[in-house]
Structure 1
């Protein structure tokens, strides 16, 4: 169940830069360490519905229902484009500015959770990732997937938190350069737009 191979596989998946990592980095650079930790927490919590779906077999329903998959996908695309706009506009919640918009930890976490919740590919991903590491005992399969999901979430929060702390440390060096901060905001906006485009091309 929790083998070294599973831990290494999960770690590689978590470390790979994705939407959650970009969001956490943007908050770390834009608002500091506290905001980045809330972002990491939100992205981690957003995994829960997908792990539950994979454990209960609901991911297969999502995969076979073109209408449901498409609805969740386009909601995710719209949300990523919204985040890109928030990074691009002056004073936006994700803009990298010394005096940018400040939001509560719960608002930051909620936004991070929605990023993952509105990605229909995550359920299918977990349905493919977890079963190969099961012991083969049907009676304990649900418990094993639950434990592996909890370990995956722990790794996610730890790695995302490290990304955020690194970004917050870099923020102190960047605050004095308006040009660099503007470039970073535009870069984050472009990345969110690119991620939205990639999600739009996904098929069930």
Structure 2
């Protein structure tokens, strides 16, 4: 996967036409997302909130989905293969254990931060979903963010 990304990055760096095509496709997609979000009636509704015919996801399904998303996250791959090894000398005795300890510390800190995010989101959920005016302004804020990003991308040179 990393090699494929490197190949795409090399293509984008050497071909202004390919970069331009991807850039304008990105601008169009961001504008599409902005328009769709502006017209949307709710941002955070769950499938069972609107129809009542679907059961909420189980804790096992939610956790397994979160683990899968994090395993497929390219930022983690870059962190563990590029950034973290800079703190371990490859010729030191126990380099593997040192890397494993650093990785465990990273995962513990990440777990603590995500737990705080989750608790905060659970606390805010009732307030946000229960207020249509809050949902409308959230939609508008997200739509404005997409359009702003599209404008930034459109006016960015290479």
**Cα distance, 1:191–1:110 mapped onto 2, change above 3 Å:** farther
Gapped regions of structure 2 (runs ≥ 5): 9-32, 150-158
Q: CA RMSD in A?
A: 3.9
The 1:95–1:175 alpha-carbon spacing in structure 2 relative to 1, beyond 3 Å, is: closer
Contact 2:44 2:129 in 1 (8 A): no
State the SS of the aligned residue for 2:120.
helix
Report matched runs for 1:48-197 at 5 Å.
62-63=1-2, 65-66=3-4, 95-96=44-45, 99=49, 102-134=56-88, 137-181=91-135, 184=138
State whether residues 96 and 185 of structure 1, in contact with CA within 8 Å, keep that contact through their aligned partners in structure 2.
Answer: no
Residues of 2 paired with 1:176 and 1:120: CA distance?
35
CA deviations over 1:103-158 (Å, ceiling 9, x no partner):
00111112212222223342122222212222564331111111111111111111
Q: Which of the two has higher C-alpha Rg? A: 2
Larger relative contact order (Cα-Cα within 8 Å, sequence gap ≥ 6):
2
Identify the range of structure 1 (150-159 vs 114-123) with the bigger mean alpha-carbon deviation: 114-123
With normalisation by structure 1, the TM-score equals: 0.42
TM-score by length of 2: 0.52
Aligned residues: 114
Would you identify which runs of 4 or more consecutive aligned residues in structure 1 move more than 6 Å? Answer: 67-70, 88-91, 185-192
Change (3 A) 1:115 1:191: farther
Compared CA separation, residues 187 and 132, structure 1 to 2 (3 A): same
Q: Unaligned 5+ residue runs, structure 1?
A: 1-61, 71-83, 195-204
Structure 1 residue 178: deviation in Å?
2.2
**Partner deviation per Cα, 1:75-99 (whole Å, 9 max, x = no partner):** xxxxxxxxx9xxx7889xx833592
Is the CA contact 1:96–1:181 (under 8 Å) kept in the aligned structure 2? no
1:165-188 per-residue CA deviation (whole Å, 9 max, x = no partner) reads 112112232243124235547877
